[in-house]
Chains A and B, each alone.
Chain A
């Protein structure tokens, strides 16, 4: 699933480790989500959305939409 996590992180000048620490997950998790290798669970997606103060659909793009 495509997402804007890397862009949002870069806008705040956060490293993957910084974001991982804020989300209380591993850096590997952040990297896997950013590269589209892993789709987060709904609770983690909500945590990400709340951290960036954005709705989930502003971060994660529906795979059904081109």
Chain B
């Protein structure tokens, strides 16, 4: 059976593909340049933030999907998925923060920031939709 794909979902997929390509290129460049000690001063700050921009772009793409999706039921699925992802991410980060505050886990995040958990949360939200409403219509 054909999977539902509105023009909004097609736009979302294209946006995420472009943003993820930019993320990989910018991350690769930042790691190479920092390892080579090739940047310093304000340029270092700009380069460090560069890979974050496409991640922020993915947040924007998800929010645009919520605005642009014409099918009200599919939109509901996406909203539920995003809210569960937000709750999942905030819960993990809050618990982790308190564990760090009391020196029960090591400081730092080992490369797994809030965005990582939000994206995992989108998967959790898709699973919740599947179990409770019978379909996921995932934006993860």
Chain A residues with CB under 8 Å of chain B are: 17, 24-29, 31-33, 35, 37-38, 40-41, 44
**8 pairs across A/B with beta carbons < 8 Å?**
A27-B1, A27-B4, A28-B4, A29-B71, A32-B73, A32-B133, A40-B72, A44-B72
**Chain B: minimal CB distance from A56 (Å):** 16
Q: Is the Cβ of A32 less than 8 Å from the Cβ of B134?
A: yes
Is B89 in contact with chain A by the CB < 8 A criterion? no
Q: Is the Cβ of B135 less than 8 Å from the Cβ of A31?
A: yes
Chain B residues with CB under 8 Å of chain A are: 1-2, 4, 6, 70-74, 76-77, 133-135, 137
Residues of B within 8 A of A27 (CB): 1-2, 4
Q: Is the Cβ of A32 less than 8 Å from the Cβ of B71?
A: no
Q: Is the Cβ of A41 less than 8 Å from the Cβ of B72?
A: yes
Residues of A within 8 A of B71 (CB): 25-26, 29
Q: Is the Cβ of A17 less than 8 Å from the Cβ of B73?
A: no
**Chain A: minimal CB distance from B114 (Å):** 30
Q: Which residue of the partner chain B has the closest CB to A43?
A: B72
Cα A33 to Cα B74 with chains together (Å): 12
Q: Is the Cβ of B134 less than 8 Å from the Cβ of A25?
A: no
**Chain B: minimal CB distance from A8 (Å):** 18
Q: Is the Cβ of B72 less than 8 Å from the Cβ of A35?
A: no
Residues of B within 8 A of A31 (CB): 134-135
Cα A44 to Cα B73 with chains together (Å): 11
Residues of A within 8 A of B4 (CB): 26-28
Cα A8 to Cα B117 with chains together (Å): 45
Cα A45 to Cα B2 with chains together (Å): 24
Residues of A within 8 A of B134 (CB): 31-32, 35, 37
Residues of B within 8 A of A40 (CB): 72-73
Residues of B within 8 A of A41 (CB): 72
Known A-B contacts A38-B73, A41-B72, A44-B72; the reply to A28 vs B1 at CB < 8 A is no
